[in-house]
Structure 1
Amino acid sequence: MTTAVPTERRSWLLLGTLLLGQFMALLDVTIVNVALPSMRADLGASGSELQLVVAGYTVSYATLLITGARLGALYGTRRLFRTGVLVFTATSLLCGLAPTATALVVARFVQGAGAALMMPQIMSVIQLRFTGAARAKALSAYSAVLATGGVAGLLLGGVLVEADLAGLGWRPVFLINVPIGIAVYALVGRVAPTDRPSGERRLDLAGLALSLPGVLLVVTPLVLGHEQGWPGWTFPVMAVGALLLVIFVRVQRRVHDPLLNLDVLRVPGVRSGLVTLALTMIAYGGFLFSTALHLQNGLGDTPLQAALTFTAFGLTFGLGSFHWQRLPKRTHRWLTPVGMVISALACAVVALGFASGGHGGIPVIVALAVWGGAVGAAFSPMLGNSLRNVPPAEAAGASGLLTTTVQLGQVVGVATFGTVFLGLAPGAHAISITLALLAGVMALGAVSAAALARA
C-alpha cells in the first residue's frame, strides 16, 4: 500500500471501504449537535461539558491529522487506518455507554484521535493507487462523501433522537458506529494488501513536540471561543500556538526526515490549491453553522426540519462531485473558478431570500441546489489540480496538508462567521449579513482558483 499499483477492481473495493470509514468519521462531526438537549437531561451535563462533547472530537481530530499522515508513511496506511478504525469504534461504544458527562467528554477526545489516524490514509491511497481518469473518479467519490457527511450527520442525528430506539435516547447516535466500524475493520483486512516497511522508522519527535501543541493551541480557542464570547485567554493562546507553528515550519526545513515535508509546497498548484480549499471550507463551515442556528433559533424549526433544508445543497453537491467529468474535457481546468463564482452568486440569492424574515420559499431551495451543484463540480477538479504534480514520495505530506486544511477551514469558518452571526441582532438581518460575507469569501476563492487553473 506504500507503492503505486495498477488500478483494478480490488482498488475500487478498497476505496469504497475506506470511504465508508471516512463517512462514519464525518458523521460524528455534526451528528451529536441535535442530541445535546437529550444528553443534558440524561447526564445532567453542564453547558461547558456539552460544549466539550462537540468540541473535543474536533480539537483532537484537527490536531493529529498531520501526525496521522506521517505515521501512515512510516508504518503503512493499512496498519494506521485499521488502528484508527479500532480506536474510533471502541470509543464510539464507550460514548454510547458513557455513565457520566465527564466519561463522554474523554471518550470524544479519543474518538477524534481515531478519526485523525484514518482520514489522511484515504488521500494517500488515492494518490498512490489511482492515476489519470481513475484518480479523477476516485477524487470525485472522496469529495461527494466529504460534502454529504456533515449534512447526513444532521439528518441522521435528528432521526435517531426522535425515534428514541429502545428508549436509549441519544445513545444510538454513537452506538450506530459500532457495527459499521467492525465491518470496515474486517473489510480493510481482506481487501488491502499487507503493508511493506518503508525502510524509515524515525518519527520527527522535535516536529511532533512543536506541531501538536501548536495546532492544539490554535484550534482550541477557535472551537470554544465563539461559544464563550471570546474570553481574554483565547487570543494569547492562539498567538502562542501560531508562534509554535512558525518555529515548526522553520525546524521542518532543516530536519533530514521531517514530520511534514514542506517541499510539497513547491510543487506547482499545491499552494494555490490549498488556499482555494481553505476558503471553500471556511465558507462551508460558516454556512452550515449560521444557517442551522437561524433555522432553529430564528425560525423555530426542529433539528430534523433544519437538516432537511440542507438536503438540496447536499444532494446536488454529491451529484456535481460525481458527474463533473461528463462536461467537455477542455472545461475541466476552469470548473473550479467558475463554480466558485456561481456559488458566490447563489449564496447571495439565499441571503436575499432570508432577508424577508421567513424561509424564502422556492427561490432559496433552488439557490441552495445551484450552490451545491456548483461547488460540487468545482471541488473535485480543485483537489485533482492541486495534487496533479505531487510525486508519490510526497503523497503523505500532501495528504496531511490537505486533510488538515479541510478540517481547520471548517473550524475557522464556524468560529469567524459564527461570531459574526451571533454578534448581530437575531433575525433576518443577521443571517443575511453573514451569508453576504460568505459570498465574498467564495469570490476570493474564485480568484485563487483562477491561479490554480493556470498552474
Structure 2
Amino acid sequence: MSSRTAVLDTASDPAPEGRPPGASAPVAPAPGDRRRWLALAVIMTAAFMDLVDVTIVNIAIPSIERDMKASFGSIQWITAGYALAFAAGLITGGRLGDIYGRKRLFLVGITGFTLASALCGFAANPEMLVASRLLQGAMAAMMVPQVLAIIHATFPAHERGKVFGMFGAIVGLGAVSGPLLGALLTQWNVAGLEWRPIFLINLPVGIAGVILGRRFITESKAPTALRLDLVGVVLVTLGLLMLIYPLTRGRELGWPLWGHLLMAGSAVVFAGFVAYERYKTRKDGSPLVELSLFKVKSFAAGIAVQLTFGIALGIFFLVWTLYMQIGLGWTPLRAGLTGLPFSIAVSTAAGLSVQKLVPRFGRKVLQAGALLMIAGLLLYIGESARYGTGIHTWQMILPLVVMGLGMGLIVAPLTDAVLSDVPREHSGSASGLINTTQQMGNALGLGLVSVVFFGVIDGAKGPVGPAFVDGFQHALWWVVAVLAVIFAVMFALPARARAAAVDH
C-alpha cells in the first residue's frame, strides 16, 4: 500500500471505538462490487444535468423574452435566481447529507430538480418561470454536494483518482455542451414549443436518475451523531445573498449605494458566522461548517485555488459568449459548435491528468494546466487582434484546444486535492464548501465582467463589432492575470509526487 493511501484511509475512517453507540458509519461497497460504478454513472449524469442547466438558459433568453413578453427584470431573475438559490443552499445541502444520508438527500434533490424543471417547461408567465428557477436552484443545492460526497464515501482511496478524472471530464463536457444543446433545442422549435424543451429534456433524465439511484447508490452519512446548525444556516445564507445579489444585479441597477453596503456588510456577517461556528463546535460538535477542515493544508489551499479559478471561468465564459454572438454576429448554433474543440480537449486532459500524470508529477500538473491556459489566452488575444471581426471559427481552434487542455489538467486533480485528506464524516460539508466557493468565484467573475468588459464597450464610439473585439481582448488580459495568481497559489498545494515517491 502506498503511504498516501495509508494516510487517506486513516484520515477518512475514524476508529470504530471512537463512534458513539448506534452511530451510523459509512458503508462502502466491496471493491469487487460493480454497483458502485453504476451508482457513479447515476450521480455523474445528475451532475452533468445540473452543469448543462446552468448554461443552457442563456442561449434561449431571446426566445423566452419574445414568447412570454418578459420584462428585463424578469429575464435577469430567470438567470440570476437560479444562481442565487444554488449558491445560498450548497453548504446547507452538503451538511444535510452528512446528517440524514447522502443517498437520501441526493434522491430528494434530483426529484425536486426534475419537478422544478417540469414547472419551468410548463410555466404560464414570467413570474411562474422565475419561481420555478428559484426552486430548481434550491433543489440543485441539495443534489450537487452529494455527488462528490458519495464518491468520497463509496470509492477507496486508490480508485478516487480515476473517478475524479471522469468527473473532471464531465465538468468539461457540461461547460460547453449546455450552450450547444440550448441552441439546437431552441432552433429546432420542437413541436412548436420554442424554448421549453431546454427544461423538459431534464424529465426523462431525472426520472431515470431517481429509479436507478434508489437501486444502486449505497447510503452513507457521518459516523457521529450530528444536528443541523440552524443559526449557521441563516448566517451563511444571509452572507452569501448579501455578496452575490449585488454582484449579479449591480450593473443593470447602476451599481447603487445599497449594493456596495450589502457587499461590505457580508464580510461582517461572515465574520459573525465564523465566530458562531467556533462556539457551536465547542458546545456540541455539530457546526454547519467544520472549521477544522481549513487546518488540512490540501483543503485550505485547494479552496483558495477553487475561488480564483471560479473568477477566471466566470469572466471568460460570459465574455466569450457575448463576443461571438453579439460582437461577431454569430448564431447560437455556430457559437456552440465553435466550443466543441474546447470541450473535447478538457475531457481528454482531465482523464489523462489524474490517471497518468498526477501520480508521477503531483501538483506540477495543475501548475502546467494554469500555464497552458495562459498560453491559450495569449494566442486567443493575438488571433482576435489580428483578424478583428473577420475571424473565422477555424482560427479559434488552436487557442481553444490549448486552453481546454490546460483546464482539463486543473479541474480533475483539483477536486481530488481538495477532498483527498478530508475525514469521510465531513465529506458532505467539504463538498458543499467546494461548490459554494466555485459559485462565489463565478459570481465575482460575473461582477468583474461589468468592469473589464462592459467598461470598455460603454466608453467606445462607432460600430458594435470592433468595440466587442476590444472588450474581449481587455477581459482576456484580466483572465491571464487571475491565472497567474492561481499558478502562484498552487505552490501551497501538497507536492503529492513526494508521497508517490516513497510507495512501498
> What one-letter code is carried by the residue in structure 2 that aligns with 1:269?
S
Q: Using the alignment, how far apart are the partners of 1:360 and 1:240 within structure 2?
A: 46
Matching residue of 2:473: 432
Which of the residues 401, 406, 416 maps onto 1:374?
406
Unaligned residue ranges in structure 1 (runs of 5+):
none
Aligned partners of 1:295, 1:232: CA distance in 2, in Å? 33
Structure 2: how far apart are the matches of 1:135 and 1:243?
Answer: 38
Moved more, 244-253 or 57-66: 244-253
Distance in 2 of aligned mates of 1:199 and 1:436: 48
Q: Which residue pairs with 1:402 in the alignment?
A: 434
Equivalent-residue separation in structure 2 for 1:286 and 1:270 (angstroms): 24
> 1:332 aligns to what?
362
In the alignment, is the contact (CA less than 8 A) between 1:76 and 1:198 conserved in 2? Answer: no
How high is the sequence identity, in percent, across the aligned residues?
Answer: 35
Q: Tell me whether 61-70 or 324-333 shows the greater mean CA deviation.
A: 324-333
Deviates more, 1:26-35 or 1:305-314: 305-314
Offset of 1:37 from its aligned partner?
A: 1.3
Instruction: Give the partner amino acid of 2:359.
Output: K
Q: Tell me the distance in 2 between the aligned counterparts of 1:228 and 1:289.
A: 19
Q: Which is bigger in relative contact order (C-alpha 8 A, separation at least 6)?
A: 2
Deviation, 1:2, is 5.6
Say whether the 8 Å CA contact 1:124–1:396 is kept in structure 2: yes
Seen in structure 2, the aligned counterparts of structure 1 residues 169 and 377 have a Cα distance that, compared at 3 Å, is: same
- Post-superposition CA distance 1:279-311 (Å, at most 9, x none): 222111211100110111111011121122222
State the aligned residue count.
455
Cα distance between partner residues in 2 of 1:196 and 1:206: 22
Structure 2 counterpart of 1:68: 93
Post-superposition CA distance 1:46-90 (Å, at most 9, x none): 011011001111100000000000000010001100000111111
Stretch deviating more after TM superposition (22-31 or 157-166) = 22-31
Match of 2:15 in 1: none
Q: Which amino acid aligns with 1:237?
A: L
Matched residue of 1:15: which SS? helix
Contact 1:290 1:418 in 2 (8 A): no
Tell me if structure 1 keeps the 8 A contact 2:298–2:417: yes
Q: CA–CA distance in 2 between the matches of 1:36 and 1:362?
A: 27
Within the alignment, does 1:112 sit opposite 2:112 as a pair? no
Q: Are 1:348 and 2:371 matched, yes or no? A: no
| Shift, 1:111, TM fit | 0.5
- Alignment map for 1:281-292 (pairs within 5 Å): 281-292=310-321
> Matches of residues 35-184 of structure 1 in structure 2 within 5 Å?
35-184=60-209
Residue 227 (structure 1) shift: 3.5
| Contact 2:121 2:200 (C-alpha < 8 Å) held by counterparts | yes
Q: Answer yes or no: is the 8 Å Cα contact 2:98–2:426 preserved in 1.
A: no
C-alpha contact 2:226 2:286 (8 A) present in aligned 1: no
SS of the residue 2:297 aligns to: coil
Matched-pair contact (CA < 8 Å) for 2:82–2:133 = yes
Separation of aligned partners in 2, 1:195 and 1:134 = 18
**Equivalent runs, 1:300-339 vs 2, <5 Å:** 300-324=329-353, 325-327=355-357, 329-339=359-369
| Aligned residue in 2 for 1:243 | 268
The runs of at least 4 consecutive aligned structure 1 residues that moved more than 4 Å come to: 194-199, 360-363
Structure 1 letter corresponding to 2:51: L
Q: Is the 1:286–1:418 contact (alpha carbons within 8 Å) kept by the matching residues of 2?
A: no
CA distance in 2, matches of 1:96, 1:23: 19
CA contact (8 A) 2:56 2:181 kept: yes
Could you say which residue in structure 2 is the equivalent of 1:417?
A: 449
Tell me if the contact between 1:347 and 1:439 (Cα under 8 Å) persists in the aligned partners. yes
Question: CA–CA distance in 2 between the matches of 1:277 and 1:287?
Answer: 15
- Following TM superposition, by how much is the alpha carbon of 1:393 offset from its aligned partner in structure 2, in angstroms? 2.3
CA 1:220–1:265 in 2, change beyond 3 Å: closer, same or farther?
Answer: same
1:31 counterpart SS class: helix
* Distance in structure 1 (CA, Å) of the matches to 2:268 and 2:328: 42
Q: State whether residues 4 and 392 of structure 1, in contact with CA within 8 Å, keep that contact through their aligned partners in structure 2.
A: no
Q: TM-score, normalised by structure 2?
A: 0.87
- CA displacement at 1:194 relative to structure 2: 4.5
Distance in 2 between the 1:111 and 1:259 partners?
A: 23
Q: 1:369-415: CA deviations, max 9, x gaps?
A: 01111220222222222222212122122112111112222221122
1:337-363 superposed Cα distances (whole Å, 9 cap, x missing partner): 111112112111111211231336645
TM-score normalised by the chain length of structure 1: 0.96
Letter in 2 for 1:313: F
* Bigger shift: residues 77-86 or 419-428: 419-428
Larger Rg: 2
Task: Summarize the Cα distance change of 1:370–1:453 in structure 2 as closer, same or farther, 3 Å threshold.
Answer: farther
Q: Matches of 1:313 and 1:387 in 2, distance apart?
A: 26
